[in-house]
Amino acid sequence: MRNETHENNTLITRRKILMAGSTLLAASGAMGWYLSSKKAPIGFAVDEKTLERGRNFLNKHISVDIHAHPGRSFVKRGEHLSPNLTLYSALGSFEQNTIQDMITGGLSMASFATVADFQLLDLTKQGLKATREYKEGEAWQSYQIQIATLQALLKNQSVIAILKPDDIIKAKKSHRIGAFFTSEGADFLEGSLENFDQCYQDGIRSMTLVHYHINEVGDIQTEPPRHKTLTPFGHSLVRAMNKKGMIIDLAHMEKNTALKVLEITEKPVMNSHTAIRRSGFDSNRFIDFEDAKGIAETGGIIGAWPAGIGLSTLDDYIDQIFRTVDDLGINHVSLGTDMDATYKPVFDTYLRLPLLAGTLLQRGMHEEEAAKLLGGNFTRLFKATYNSQEYST
């Protein structure tokens, strides 16, 4: 359990967030990012035996969150924001709190994601939406600010950089959190592969090609398509990512654009945070079974997403994980929480990771299977995409 001081500080921070966020809720009808001080309901009785089993498992095995925004670091020094996002940014970030939760909860490694279109976004009745275009050089400047914030975590030794697959084991043995730098959206590239080369040097090892803004790569799930397929720059970027050994993430991508990526990629890909559509369980942020199967057929993975869309409790999320495993097989499902930046999360703190792991085991998942889902599948994907020759240069 986290210590009392950390618990109190977190509650105070979240109370402030809730009070300030009420204005946004009234204005937008929905708050897409976490603004609640309430803990998500579990939905089942918790027993110490299950928790202890989960702790022992996590002590023994690698655990990975393949998509997260720990402490919402992307809000720092945001400029030219909408009034709603200005208020949201003023609430601040809390990286050290989340990192401590990771340590206490037994997590080995997480994505630390920048948000490439953050300055374009606003909260509307339909949720997050890009409401303007970037000015020349603005997207790259925003990226430089955000990546500097993440790199500062390395300098103060809060986390250890995950640049190659072996670093995951290194982080686990050192009892420090592995930080896998990613970008949600390729907008910051501004159509330049030179910028892509720089972001690899900066430590970015996975990129979600689009987010909530239709960019130079292709279309998004939540807006009518404009390109109707992967753009020529998108083709070049997929090839460059394959060559460099950077993981391609299809989250937020419109169906035809994603299918084109699956057609041309030479490496496995992932969708880091989504769910598979089924009767009574649908959203424009989910994907069809055929699309999920296409990702799996590359050797890729789907990140089970605990957003509060058709899910109300942690129990619901665990059921969703088992359904996704039934659909795709145990080798193609991972944990993709979108921590600290998702909509009504039903898994909202890493302190509940032992409960999640223990309950998966208690409900019949074998230890070997749980080890794949909670860390092994991502490790395999990283090894399959990683280019040791490119890294050594």
User: What's the pLDDT tens digit per position in 123-180?
Assistant: 988 889 999 999 999 999 999 999 999 999 999 888 999 999 999 999 999 999 999 9
Judge residue 55's burial from the number of C-beta atoms within 10 Å of its C-beta, 0-12 exposed, 13-18 middle, 19 or more buried.
middle
- Please give the Cα distance from 147 to 331 (Å, whole number): 31
pTM of the model: 0.91
User: What's the pLDDT tens digit per position in 10-50?
Assistant: 433 443 433 344 334 333 333 333 344 468 999 999 999 99
- Please give the Cα distance from 21 to 25 (Å, whole number): 6
CATH of the domain at 318: 3.20.20.140
Residue 304 has a pLDDT of: 98
**Per-residue buried b or exposed e for 219-252, using 16+ beta carbons within 10 Å of the residue's own CB:** bbbbbeeebeebbebbbebbeebbebbbbbbbbb
Residue 311 has a pLDDT of: 98
Residue segments in the chain with a per-residue pLDDT below the cut of 50: 1-37, 393
Query: What residues make up the domain containing 76?
Result: 4-392
CB-based contact 104:96 (threshold 8 Å): no
Residue 57 has a pLDDT of: 98
Q: Could you tell me the two tokens for 368?
A: 């070997």
Residue 64 has a pLDDT of: 98
Judge residue 339's burial from the number of C-beta atoms within 10 Å of its C-beta, 0-12 exposed, 13-18 middle, 19 or more buried.
buried
Residue 388 has a pLDDT of: 77
Number of structural domains found in the chain: 1
Residue 248 has a pLDDT of: 98
Q: Could you tell me the two tokens for 260?
A: 């084109």
